[in-house]
Amino acid sequence: MDKIRIIGGTRLSGKIPISGAKNAALPLMAASLLTDGKLALSNVPYLADIVTMANLLAQHGVDISFSAPAKNIGRTMSLSAGNIHNLTAPYELVRTMRASVLVLGPLLARFGAAKVSLPGGCAIGTRPIDLHLKALEQMGAHIELAEGYIHAHTHGKLQGAEITFEKVSVGATENILMAASLAEGITIIHNAAREPEVCDLAYCLVEMGAQIEGIGTDTIRITGVDELHGCDYSVVPDRIEAGSFAAAVAITGGDCELVGARMEHMQSVAEKFADAGVEMIETENGIRVIADKKIQCIDIITQPYPGFPTDMQAQMMALLCVADGASMITETIFENRYMHVPELMRMGAKVITHGSSAMIRGTDELNGAEVMATDLRASLSLVIAALAAKGETVIHRVYHLDRGYERLEEKLSACGANIERISERTAASFKIPEAA
Ligand code: UD1
């Protein structure tokens, strides 16, 4: 297991390339199961979660190739599901990545059966999948839960249905979008998720021949078609990566351009940065972040898109640790998403949590410490705090970061950050001599 060492105190300036969005690429990859044609995805980030999804699809029988253009960014992935021989998504893969459950809708729609491991709990909460299952049942699927698996099958094709989600769910909207594209008749999804990653999937499905209206609204109407075909599609830039780097730039009082970032996907985040005294200006190639004032305290409530994203909560908290005054964050999406708080407090942050709320009192005194990454976005909050902290911070368990941030150290050090990765394997083999 690798560690990351950061020595805080340098101001970030320069350009940071923004990768394709992991949360868009994962459902797009799952969509390859809907056709025997070739889906060629470009701008795919090279990340642990992408590799996990590729392994999952490969064991179903998807033929995958991943080409690496210059500098390892924006890879192209070709997926052909013309020879699917296994309809089971096994526990070993699903437990490491919840998004694996996105194979359920496509498998069921195209092959009439699927067996997918229940994802189980995860670090940020219980995260059930009842909405996915209930909606598929409404479409005529027979679902049983046994031995930790979802056993699903249909008699004939899935049927279009009118589905009202009682809660906005990104994953459930994506699963039903894919299933409904090959179902018989019309499906209407009410209270659909509107995240740019959901729209990216819908636009790709349309390129593949699906009939979808209302993309980007909370009511989506899908008219099922008999078959879909392959297409070329470029993954949308990652708004959460862009927002994370904006917070990193802001905490160092820096000035950077986030190349490729799209302002239209970042309105709620940009508004909060503006309230905190950080400018985000749209440029020809992305967004410029300028932080030349003292950070001001702000209040944030996480909400489904277009509200403030839960996936930016931890990173914004790190920034607010150095603000003038006290800020309040209320997390409404996940019930256990403050695991970064005790780690930030090890660095001198003054945070009190109570249920879904956290109060952050600003301080000028963040200090380097040994801390532990607990989940993907929490890990980045530690990186952000470390960039402003006095002295050295060592972040353990960086495999969480590797799930969602492509070439993080390289991107930050190119803008002046003092950051390096230490391979723990070297340290471990030093301490524990190999058996003779
Ligand atoms: C996706 C994102 C994740 C992000 C989250 C919310 C991917 C791969 N992951 O996760 O990074 O934090 O959206 O923006 O895109 N819920 C239920 N029943 C369900 C499904 C969800 O109660 O069947 C609840 C969840 O527990 C949570 C809320 O609905 O409280 C939203 O979850 P959801 O939007 O489904 O998150 P994911 O799709 O898992």
In ligand 1, which atom is closest to the CA atom of 334? 30
The predicted structure's pLDDT at residue 374: 87
Q: How far is the CA of 125 from the centre of ligand 1 (A)?
A: 10
Ligand 1: does its nearest atom lie under 6 Å from the Cβ of 28? no
Can you give the pLDDT of all 436 residues of the chain as single tens digits? 889 999 999 999 999 999 999 999 999 999 999 999 999 999 999 999 999 999 999 999 999 998 876 555 568 999 999 999 999 999 999 988 989 999 999 999 999 999 999 986 556 566 789 999 999 999 999 999 999 999 999 999 999 999 999 999 999 999 999 999 999 999 999 999 999 999 999 999 999 999 999 999 999 999 999 999 999 999 999 999 999 999 999 999 999 999 999 999 999 999 999 999 999 999 999 999 999 999 999 999 999 999 999 999 999 999 999 999 999 999 999 988 999 999 999 999 999 999 999 999 999 989 999 999 988 899 999 999 999 999 999 999 988 899 999 999 999 999 999 999 998 654 444 343 333 3
In ligand 1, which atom is closest to the CA atom of 304? 14
Q: Considering the entire predicted model, what is its pTM?
A: 0.95
The predicted structure's pLDDT at residue 335: 84
Nearest-angstrom CA–CA distance, 246 and 95: 31
Q: Whose CA is nearest to atom 20 of ligand 1?
A: 129
The predicted structure's pLDDT at residue 125: 60
Q: Secondary structure of the chain: what % helix, strand, coil (to 5)?
A: 35, 30, 35
Ligand 1: does its nearest atom lie under 6 Å from the Cβ of 187? no
The predicted structure's pLDDT at residue 428: 41
Mutate to test the pocket of ligand 1, among 167, 244, 305, 376 (most ligand atoms within 8 A of CB): 167
Question: What is the residue-wise DSSP string for 228-272?
Answer: ---EEEEPPB-HHHHHHHHHHHHHTT-EEEEET--GGG-HHHHHH
Checking DSSP bridges between strand 418-422 and strand 3-7, what pairing results, if any? antiparallel
Exposure letters 260-286 (e unless 16+ CB within 10 A, then b): bbbbebbebbbebbeebbbbbeeeeeb
* Site of tokens 């949590």: 353
Greatest CA span in the chain, whole angstroms? 66
In ligand 1, which atom is closest to the CA atom of 305? 14
Nearest-angstrom CA–CA distance, 308 and 305: 7
Ligand 1: does its nearest atom lie under 6 Å from the Cβ of 27? no
In ligand 1, which atom is closest to the CA atom of 240? 11
Ligand 1: does its nearest atom lie under 6 Å from the Cβ of 311? yes
End-to-end CA distance of the chain: 23
Ligand 1: does its nearest atom lie under 6 Å from the Cβ of 169? yes
**Which residues does the annotation mark as catalytic?**
122
Question: What is the residue-wise DSSP string for 133-186?
Answer: HHHHHHTT-EEEEETTEEEEE-SSS-B--EEE-SS--HHHHHHHHHHHHTSBSE
The letter for the amino acid at 33 is: L
β-strand partners of 289? 256, 280
Ligand 1: does its nearest atom lie under 6 Å from the Cβ of 333? yes
Nearest-angstrom CA–CA distance, 292 and 430: 45
Q: Are 31 and 210 in contact (CB under 8 A)?
A: no
Kindly tell me the burial class for residue 26, based on how many C-beta atoms sit within 10 Å of its own C-beta (0-12, 13-18, 19 or more).
buried
Task: Give the H/E segment covering residue 77.
Answer: strand 75-80
